[in-house]
Structure 1
Amino acid sequence: MVEEEKIVCLGLTFDTEEQRREYFRNKLRIRLPELKKIEGFPIGDDEDIIRLSDPPYYTACPNPWVNDFIAEWEKEKKTIKSRIADFKVDEPYASDVSEGKSNPIYTAHTYHTKVPHPAIMRYLLYYTQPGDSVLDSFSGTGMTGVAAQICENPDSETKYKIEHEWKQLFGRLPVWGQRKAICGDLSPYASLISYNYNMPADLELVDAESQALLNDVIKECTWLYETKHTDGGVGTINYTVWSDIFNCKSCSQEIVFWDAAMNMEKKELLDDFICPNCKSINNKTSAEKTWVTFFDTELGKTIRIAKSEPVLIVYTYKGKRFQKQPDLKDKKLIKEINELKISTWVPTYELPKGFNLDQPKKSHGVNNTHLFYTKRNLVALSYLNNRIDSSKLPNKLKFILTGMINRSTQMNRLHVSNFFYGGGGWNVGHLKGTLYIPSLQIETSILEQIQDKINSLKKAALLLGKQYSNLQFVGSASNTSIKDNSIDYVFTDPPFGANIMYSELNFLPETWLKVLTNNIKEAIENKTQGKSLLDYQSLMTECFKEYNRVLKPGKWMTVEFSNTSAAVWNGIQTALQRAGFIIANVAALDKKQGGMRGIVTATAVRQDLAISCYKPTAEFEQKFQNAQGSTLVWDFVEAHLCHLPVHLVRKDSTTSIIERSSKILFDRVITFYLMRALPVPIDARDFQEGLKQRFAERDEMFFTSAQVAEYDEKKARSPQFVQWSLIVTNESDAIEWLKERLRRATQKYQDIMPEFRMATQSLRKGDTLPELQDLLNESFIQDEQGRWRTPDPSEAKDRDALRNKVLLKEFNGYVSTISQPKAKKLKEVRVEAMRCGFKNCWERKDFKTIVTLGDMIPQNILLEDEQLLMYYDIAKDRV
C-alpha cells in the first residue's frame, strides 16, 4: 500500500489539505484583532471572513503570512538552475503585443476589467526570472497570478507565439519557469475569483461535486421554470422577457411598454408610443412608471416597487426552442412563487448611497439586494447558494454562483436589433459598469446558466496551475504589510478616476458572500464618497508609494492606464513620480486588437496605455545625496537614457521615442529634483545646450555613446522614419511648432500667420495664448528683411531672460488680483506665466502662494498641466 504524500506548508506538515486549512484558519482567527487595524480590512463577521479564506495562501482580509512566503521564495531561488546571478533589465519592454480575450481562462468568469494573461506573461518573462516575486495589489480576478503560474507550463500555442516573438526581438528564447505572484484587491468578490483562478483544484472532486450540484438543482428547481407547450407537454423556460408598465400622461390608464413600444411591423423600439386607451402619444419621460405596493416576505414589511409583467417566454421542448406569450398557467405559477416564503437564506442588504447604487433605487424602487431578482430566480439562487455551502468545495463552487449573479438579475437587457433582425443573441446581459435596470428585462433561468458555468470552471481548471504557488489577500494597495525592498516586479491595473465604481458594482455579489468591500481607501473619483480628482490622485500616490517601498531598488513596475481624461492621466503621472518612480516609456495598448504602439502626446489619451517606470538604484540615490550642482543632472540623464528604449519599429518604420526628446528629458529632471525638495540647478536653455555637448543626437532624440551605435545600426535596417506629430494645445507647444518651422527656413509674419491659426485650434479652455506677434518678439529674432528665425545660443539666453521677466510680471498680476477683498476665481490664465511663477515661488520656498493661486485658477488648467500639478501637489504638503 502506497503511503499518501504529506503536505508541507511554511515548514509544517499535514496529512490533508483540509487539516492544513483548519490549522491556519484557527491561527487566522487569533490574529484577526490585529489585522482589523490594517487599511482595507473588509466589512463582515469574523466567521464569514474565515470561512471564505483558505489560509495561508488566501485570506479574505490582509494576509499575515505574506512575508513568510517571500522569505521561503528567496531561499528557493538558490535551487533554480535557470536563474542568472547578475540578471538586470536596463530598458523597458516596448514591443508590440497582440492578444485576444477568447481563451477559456479569460472567459470562465466575467469582471469589469481584465488583462489577458498571455499579455502579462510577456512582461513577466521580460522583467523577471523563474522564482521571482511579482506583486499586483489591484489584481481583480488575479490574471497576474495566472500568468505567473503558466510561465512554467504554457499551452503549446502561447509558447510557440511568444518564443517566435522573442527570437525576432531579442535573438533568444524566453526563460520559462514559474514566477511567484502576490495578488491583492480591496474587493472580497474579486479576490474569490482570483482565488479560484490561482489555487489548484482536485479535478476529479470538482467534477463530482459540480455534477452532484447540477443534479440537485435540476431536481429541486425545475418546477420553477416549467411552461406548457401547445400539445399540452411540459417545456423548460430558458428566459422570460418582462416589461415595465407606465401610466398614460393623459388618461392615467396602464400602458404595457412592450405592447406599445415594440413595433413588430416596423421592427423597431419606438421612442414615442400610443396609449391603447385614449390614443395620446407618450414616451418614457412624459409617462410615469406604474408602482405597486406589496408585503415583502423576506423583509417582513410592505414595500413599493415599479410594476412589471411577463410578456414573452423562450423555452425548450423536446430539444427545440420555442417562443410564446405567457398564458394563465404561467401567470398562476408566477403568483404562486411570489407568495412563497423562501426557506433558505437570501441577502436582503439595503443599498447604500452611491453613483451606481442610486440608479435602481430611483428607476425601480430596488432598495434591497434581493429585489434585483424576480422571486423565481431568487428562490433558485438561494437554493443553489445553500447547496454550495454544504458541499465539499464551497469556495470552488462559489465560482459558479458569482459567475451567475449579474445575469440572473433584472438588469439583463434585450438587444432590440438582434431580436428583430438576428445577427446574434438578444439576451445580452447587463450594461457593464452600471446597475441599470432597463424597461424590458430578461429573466434568465438559473437552469439555463448553471451547466454553462460548470463547463467553464472545468475547462479553466484543466489549464490552471497545479501547485499552491501564489498568494491572495483582501486589503488596500496602500498598506500591504510587505517588508521593504522585497519584491522583484510589479504589474498592476489600478482604477482610473471615475471610470468604474468597483465597490458599488461589487456590492451585489459580495452580499451573497456576506463580506463587503471597505471603500474608505478605494482609489476612485466618486461624489457620493466625497472623493474629488485630487483625492483620487492622493490615494493613488499612497498606493504607488507602497509599491515603491516594497519594490527592490533598480526594479521595474508596469501600470496599465485606461481613461480618456488628460486630467486623470496627469494625476497618475504625478502620483507615480511623487512616489519615487521614474517613467521610462508610455505606449498605447489597444485591447481589442491587442496592439501596442508609441504615443505622441499624453494630453489626449484615447487608448489604454502601458506605463513602464523604474525605482532608482540604491547606489544612484546615495550618489545624489552626496553630489551638488549641475553635475548630478548629467548623471541622472545618463542613467535615465540607459533605461529608455533605444529603437522602436512600427510597420517596418523607425518610430520616434518621445521620452528621448530634450523637452521630456528636462521634465524628468525637474520632477526628480522637485520630488527631493531641491531647486533645479539648470534652466531649459542650458539643459538643451548641455545635452548636445554630452550626448549624441539623432532625429531630435538623445543617446549615450553606446546607444547611438545601436540606434544607427537598427535604423539602417528600417530607414523610413516616423516623426511624432505635434498637436498644439498650449503656448509651449506653439513655441515648439514655431521653432520647427523656422529651423527649416526664415519667414515673415504674414507667411506664418495662416498656418499658425490652423495649428492653434485645439487650445485648452482657460489657457490664454498670446498673439503670434508677442510669441515671436519674446522667443525669436527678426532680421533686417522682416523675417523671423530661431536665436543662436547667446541670443537665446537674452530672449529667455526677457521672456521670464514678462511671464513673472503677468504671474504677479494674478497674485495681486486674487489678493483683493472678495476676489473671484480667475476664468483664464496664461499657463506659461503660471509655470514660471510657480517655479520662482518654489525656489523662494513660497509654497503658500502656489497653493492659494492654484485654488483660484480653472481646475482643468491645474489638473491637466503636469508641471503646475506637480508644484501644487508638493506645495500642499509644505504649507
Structure 2
Amino acid sequence: MNDLLNQKSGTKQPGEVECLGITFPSEEARREHFLGLLAERLKDPAFRSQEGFPQGADDAILAMSDPPYYTACPNPWLTDFVQHYGQAYDPTKEYAREPMAVDVSVGKSDPVYKAHSYHTKVPHLAIVPSILHYTEPGDVVLDGFAGSGMTGVAAQWCAVAPSQYKAKIESEWKASGMAAPKWGARPTILSDISPVATFIADNYNHTLDIEAFLHEANRIFLELETEYGWMYSVQDGSRTGKINFTVWSEVFHCPECAGEIVFHDHALDESGRVKDSIICPHCSADLGKRDLELAFETIRDPGTKQEKQRPKRRPVLINYTSAKKKSERQLNIDDLDIIKRVADLPFPTNAPTIEFPDMQMTRVGRMRTTKVQNIHDLFLPRSLQVLSAFFAKVREINNADIRKALTIIAQHQFVNASILNRYRPASSFGNSPLTGVFYVSSLVAEANVIDLLRGSINRIKRMEKTSWGKGRAWGKNVFVTTSSATNISGIPGETIDYIFTDPPFGENIYYSDLNYLTESWHGVITDPSREAIVDRVKGKGIPEYQRLMQGCFAEFYRVLKPGRWMTVVFSNSRASVWNSIQVSLQQVGFVVAEVSTLDKVHLTFQQAMSPNAVKQDLVISVYKPNGGLEQRLSERGAAPESAWDFVQTHLRQLPVSKQRNGLLEVVVERDARRIYDRMVAWFVRHDFPVPLSTEEFLDGLRNRYPERDGMVFLPEQVTEYDRKRAQVAQAPQMELFVSDERSAIDWLTDFLRKRPSSYQEVHPEFTTQLGAGWRKHEEKPELLALLADNFLRYDGNSDVPSQIHSYLSTNFKDLRGLEKEDPRLKAKAKDRWYVPDPSKAKDLEQKRERSLLKEFESYKSAPGRKLKEFRLEVLRAGFKAAWGAKDYKTIIGIAQKIPEEALQEDEKLLLWYDQALTRMEADA
C-alpha cells in the first residue's frame, strides 16, 4: 500500500483512479484503503467525541461510508480536500459582488430534484444562478445544512448544464446588465448532522454506472418475485392477478354495547369520506368517531419476544391488477390464507426492532393512541419480509456504488411501505402518507412492496438520462461529512469561497424524529442533542435554538474567506424565529445585505420585523467583511470614523438597484435607519460602544452621501441609479408597516415630510395604520405625544418653515409665489406638524432620549417580577445606554422582567440581551 500511495497523479494506467492526488489501481483499492483508515479513526475515543457524532456501531458507519468522498460520521479528509481543490485567501485579489435573490420555485419538476424526496429541498436549478454569480470555476462551496445535497448537484451542474440552459441564463443576465457567467465545476463540501441526509447527498453527487445498476436491480427483483411474489398473488376467476395494495381497517368498540365496529365497513359514506354520524351495527347507537374506542389485542411480539398490545386491524379490501385491468374486491378465504402464511414466517433477522425514543410525535396523536413503540411496529408482516429480503440481497453486492443506489431506492419508499400509508377512498392512488409527521390512519393501504421498490428505479433512470446524470463521471469533487454545523472539523479558516445553506426553521419540522425510521435500517442514528430546532420534548426553546444557530453561523464565519458571501434560505412564520436567525448572523460578524422573498419581492424593515408579517420563505444575503475593516476598527476603536468606515464598506456591498417587471424596487438595506441598525450590530458584536446617536448618524449620512427615493448611495453609485431611474416612469415606493412605536414614528416622518399636516388631518390617516399588526406586548402611544416628542408644530408667529412652504406652494394654486411671511400663507400653515431640519431634529432626539431613559429607570425600580406594561422604545434606549456603560446585569435583569415572546420578537432587544449574556459568561 505504501508503494501505491507514493504514485504521482497524472501517471494513471488503464483502470486506475486518482483521489486527492493519489493514484489507485481501482475504485475497490481506493475504497479499501480509505475504509481501513476510517476504521482506525473510529477506534479513537477523541474522534468519536466530536459534536454531532452519530449513534452507531463501527461496522454500520463503515457500511454507509465511501471515504474519502463520504463518511457517515465527521469526515477526516476535509483538510486534504480544501488543500487539494481550494486556494488560500489572498487579500490582494479583487472580488466584488452584489447580493442576488433566489427563486426556489424553479426546478421542482426536474427529474434530478424528484429522484429522492427529503423533508425540505431547495431545487438545484434554483441554486445554480447563485453559485454562478458569487463564484468562479474552482472556487470551493460549502453547505453546512446540506440535507439531500442539492447544493452539490448545483455546483456540478455548472459544469454539465445543457446548452439550452446555458443560453437561457446568459440571455437573462445580459438583459439585466450582468456579465456572462463562467461555467465550470465548483468543488463542494456538504455537511449535515443526519446520516440519512448525507447518505442521500452522497448518492446524488457521485458516479453511478446505470447499466450495471439496472442489471443488478433487475436480477434482485426477479429473485424477489420468485421467492415472495406469492404474497401478492390473487385469483381473479380463472386468471391470476397481482395485488396493488391491501386495505386494513382498524376495529373499534361501541361505547354503548362494547360490540366491535370495523371502521371501513361502517364509518364511510358513499364517496369514501368519514361520516359525521356512525350507527353501531349491534345496538344502533348513533355515534361520532370520537365516541368510538379503539380495540386492541395482546400479542407476543416476534421482534422483541415480549407481550404487547397492538390495534386490531382487519384486511377489508384488495386492489389488484389482472389482465392489465385494475379491480377491487373484498378478501376471500384464499387471500386470508396468504396473510396467515406470511404472519407465520420467522421474523426477519435483519429487520430493525429498536424502540422509538421519547419524541414529540410519539407523545401525541395517533402514534401514541395506536401504541407504536418499536420501528417494526410500523410495518405489517408482508412488507417487513420483502424489505428485509431486499436489504439482505443488496448487501451481498460487491459494487459499493450499486449497493448504495439500491439502498436509496428502498429508503425512498419506507413510509409508503409502512402503516403510515393512508387509504383514502376518495383518492385515485394508493400511496398517501401525511408528510412531515408520523400519522397512523384508521385505514392503512398496505402496498405491494416489490412494485414500490421497482417503481423507484424509474426515478433514478430518469435522472441518469439528464445531462446531470451523464456528466457526473467527469470527476469526484464533492465531499460529504456527517457532523454538527457547529464544528465542521477539518475545514481550515478562511478557505471557503461561498456558502449556500437552507437551515432548520425552528419548530417547522422535526428532522431527526422523521429520519429515525430510515436511519434505524442503517443502524446509524442522528445525535439529536446538537440538532438546531425548537423542540419542547428535547428541552429546546427559542433561546436554545438561537444559541445552536449562532454556533453554526460562527463556524461558517470562521471558514468563509473575508469579503465573501453566504446565502441563507429561511422559512418560518414566527417573528421570534426569524429574529433568532438574524441576530445570530450579526452576533458572529456577518452583515446582512439583503432580505428578499423567494418570488424576489423585497421586504421592508417593518415587514421583516412585524410579528405578523413574516409569512413567506426568505432569502438572506450576508457577507463577511474583509480583514481591512476589522483591523481598522481594532486600531480606531469606538470612534465616529469607524462608523463611517463601516458605512462606506457596507454601501459598497449593497445592490445599486432592483428591478421587477419593469419597475424599480426599493433596496431596503439602503434605508438610513436600516444602515444605522447594521452599524449598531457591528459595534455591539465587537464589544464596542456605539459611537453615534441615531440623529448624529442620520445627520452625518445626509451630509456625506447622496440620497435618492429614500435610499442612501455612495457618490460613485448614484450615477448608475439615476440612469436606471430615468428609464422607468415611476419612482420606487417604500411601504411602511406600523407595528410598534418606532415604526409609528417612521410612518409619521414619511407622511409629514410629504405632507405637513394638522393633528386633525393626521389622526384619521394614522389610526388606520394601527391595525392587527401591532405588537402584542407593545403599549400603543398617543398620537399627540408622538408628534410633540418627534416633530415641530408651526404656531403662526414666525415665518413659515421651508418644509411647509414648499408643500403649500406646490399643492395650492392660490398660495403659489407667496413669501414665507405672507399672512395668507401663515394662516394656512398654522398648527401644521412638520419634520424638523437636522439641527433641530438632533435637539429633539436628545430630549426624547432623556425622557426614555428616565422612564427606563422606573422599569428598573418597578416592584414585582414582571412588567405588565412597557414601551419597546424605552427598553431599546435603556439597553443601549446600559451596553455603553458595560452594565450587562441591568440588561439581563430587565429582559427577565418582560415576556420572553416580546424579547424574542424584537431584533434590537434580542441583540443587546444576547451580547450581554455572552459578556457576563466571559467575565464569570
Tell me which interval the TM-score lies in, with the shorter structure as reference length: over 0.9
Aligned to 1:5: 15
**TM superposition shift of 1:609:** 0.8
Alpha-carbon distance between aligned partners in 1 of 2:93 and 2:342, rounded to the nearest angstrom:
68
Further displaced range: 153-162 or 502-511: 153-162
Aligned to 2:355: 350
Answer yes or no: is the 8 Å Cα contact 1:95–1:648 preserved in 2: no
- Match among 771, 774, 788 for residue 782 of structure 2: 771
**TM superposition shift of 1:625:** 1.2
Shift in alpha-carbon separation, 1:128–1:435, aligned structure 2, 3 A: same
Aligned to 1:448: 451
Aligned to 1:130: 137
Answer yes or no: is the 8 Å Cα contact 2:362–2:368 preserved in 1: no
**TM superposition shift of 1:618:** 0.9
Deviations 1:32-69 (A, max 9, x none): 21321211111000111011111111111101111111
- 1:458 and 2:464 aligned: no
Aligned to 1:531: 540
Further displaced range: 540-549 or 745-754: 745-754
Shift in alpha-carbon separation, 1:627–1:719, aligned structure 2, 3 A: farther
- Match among 151, 165, 168 for residue 158 of structure 2: 151
Find the residue that maps to 2:176 and give its secondary structure.
helix
- Normalising by structure 2, what TM-score? 0.90
Aligned to 2:806: none
Find the residue that maps to 1:246 and give its secondary structure.
strand
Matches of residues 795-874 of structure 1 in structure 2 within 5 Å? 795-817=840-862, 820=863, 823-874=864-915
Aligned to 2:284: 279
Find the residue that maps to 2:300 and give its secondary structure.
strand
**TM superposition shift of 1:745:** 2.5
Answer yes or no: is the 8 Å Cα contact 1:413–1:428 preserved in 2: yes
Find the residue that maps to 2:242 and give its secondary structure.
strand
**TM superposition shift of 1:165:** 1.6
- Match among 321, 325, 340 for residue 326 of structure 2: 321
Q: How many residues align?
A: 856
Shift in alpha-carbon separation, 1:813–1:416, aligned structure 2, 3 A: farther
Shift in alpha-carbon separation, 1:488–1:233, aligned structure 2, 3 A: same
Alpha-carbon distance between aligned partners in 1 of 2:698 and 2:171, rounded to the nearest angstrom:
41
Matches of residues 529-568 of structure 1 in structure 2 within 5 Å? 529-568=538-577
Find the residue that maps to 2:650 and give its secondary structure.
helix
Deviations 1:748-800 (A, max 9, x none): 22222222222112211111122112111211122223332222223222221
**TM superposition shift of 1:233:** 2.2
What 5-or-longer segments of structure 1 have no aligned partner? Answer: 79-83, 419-424, 590-594
Deviations 1:106-125 (A, max 9, x none): 11111101111111111110
Find the residue that maps to 1:707 and give its secondary structure.
helix
Find the residue that maps to 1:38 and give its secondary structure.
coil
Alpha-carbon distance between aligned partners in 2 of 1:167 and 1:150, rounded to the nearest angstrom:
20
Answer yes or no: is the 8 Å Cα contact 2:117–2:412 preserved in 1: yes
Aligned to 1:427: 430
Answer yes or no: is the 8 Å Cα contact 2:107–2:113 preserved in 1: no
Alpha-carbon distance between aligned partners in 2 of 1:695 and 1:346, rounded to the nearest angstrom:
68
**TM superposition shift of 1:76:** 12
Aligned to 2:413: 404
Aligned to 1:375: 381
Alpha-carbon distance between aligned partners in 2 of 1:131 and 1:802, rounded to the nearest angstrom:
56
Shift in alpha-carbon separation, 1:399–1:267, aligned structure 2, 3 A: closer
- Match among 297, 312, 318 for residue 317 of structure 2: 312
Answer yes or no: is the 8 Å Cα contact 1:91–1:644 preserved in 2: yes
Alpha-carbon distance between aligned partners in 2 of 1:404 and 1:696, rounded to the nearest angstrom:
59
Alpha-carbon distance between aligned partners in 2 of 1:355 and 1:267, rounded to the nearest angstrom:
31
Partner AA of 1:852 in structure 2: G
Alpha-carbon distance between aligned partners in 1 of 2:899 and 2:752, rounded to the nearest angstrom:
33
Alpha-carbon distance between aligned partners in 1 of 2:591 and 2:390, rounded to the nearest angstrom:
50
Aligned to 2:657: 647
Further displaced range: 527-536 or 339-348: 339-348
**TM superposition shift of 1:360:** 4.6
- 1:622 and 2:631 aligned: yes
**TM superposition shift of 1:428:** 4.3
- 1:472 and 2:483 aligned: no
Alpha-carbon distance between aligned partners in 1 of 2:839 and 2:676, rounded to the nearest angstrom:
20
Partner AA of 1:29 in structure 2: A
Alpha-carbon distance between aligned partners in 2 of 1:713 and 1:212, rounded to the nearest angstrom:
66
- 1:254 and 2:265 aligned: no
- Match among 41, 47, 50 for residue 62 of structure 2: 50
Alpha-carbon distance between aligned partners in 2 of 1:804 and 1:503, rounded to the nearest angstrom:
48
Alpha-carbon distance between aligned partners in 1 of 2:88 and 2:24, rounded to the nearest angstrom:
21
Alpha-carbon distance between aligned partners in 2 of 1:488 and 1:514, rounded to the nearest angstrom:
35
Aligned to 1:337: 342
Answer yes or no: is the 8 Å Cα contact 1:94–1:648 preserved in 2: no
Alpha-carbon distance between aligned partners in 2 of 1:631 and 1:788, rounded to the nearest angstrom:
34
**TM superposition shift of 1:746:** 2.5
Answer yes or no: is the 8 Å Cα contact 2:791–2:836 preserved in 1: yes
What 5-or-longer segments of structure 2 have no aligned partner? Answer: 1-11, 796-829
Aligned to 1:792: 837
Find the residue that maps to 2:361 and give its secondary structure.
coil
**TM superposition shift of 1:160:** 2.9
**TM superposition shift of 1:227:** 1.7
**TM superposition shift of 1:317:** 0.8
Find the residue that maps to 2:289 and give its secondary structure.
coil
Aligned to 2:47: 35
Further displaced range: 210-219 or 672-681: 210-219
Shift in alpha-carbon separation, 1:758–1:102, aligned structure 2, 3 A: same
- Normalising by structure 1, what TM-score? 0.95
Greater radius of gyration (CA) = 2
Matches of residues 165-184 of structure 1 in structure 2 within 5 Å? 165-184=172-191
Q: What's the Cα RMSD here?
A: 1.9
Find the residue that maps to 1:814 and give its secondary structure.
helix
Answer yes or no: is the 8 Å Cα contact 1:357–1:504 preserved in 2: no
**TM superposition shift of 1:31:** 1.2
Shift in alpha-carbon separation, 1:156–1:323, aligned structure 2, 3 A: farther
Further displaced range: 87-96 or 568-577: 87-96
Alpha-carbon distance between aligned partners in 1 of 2:16 and 2:916, rounded to the nearest angstrom:
58
**TM superposition shift of 1:874:** 0.6
Find the residue that maps to 1:770 and give its secondary structure.
coil
Further displaced range: 512-521 or 335-344: 335-344
Alpha-carbon distance between aligned partners in 2 of 1:637 and 1:129, rounded to the nearest angstrom:
28
Shift in alpha-carbon separation, 1:171–1:735, aligned structure 2, 3 A: closer
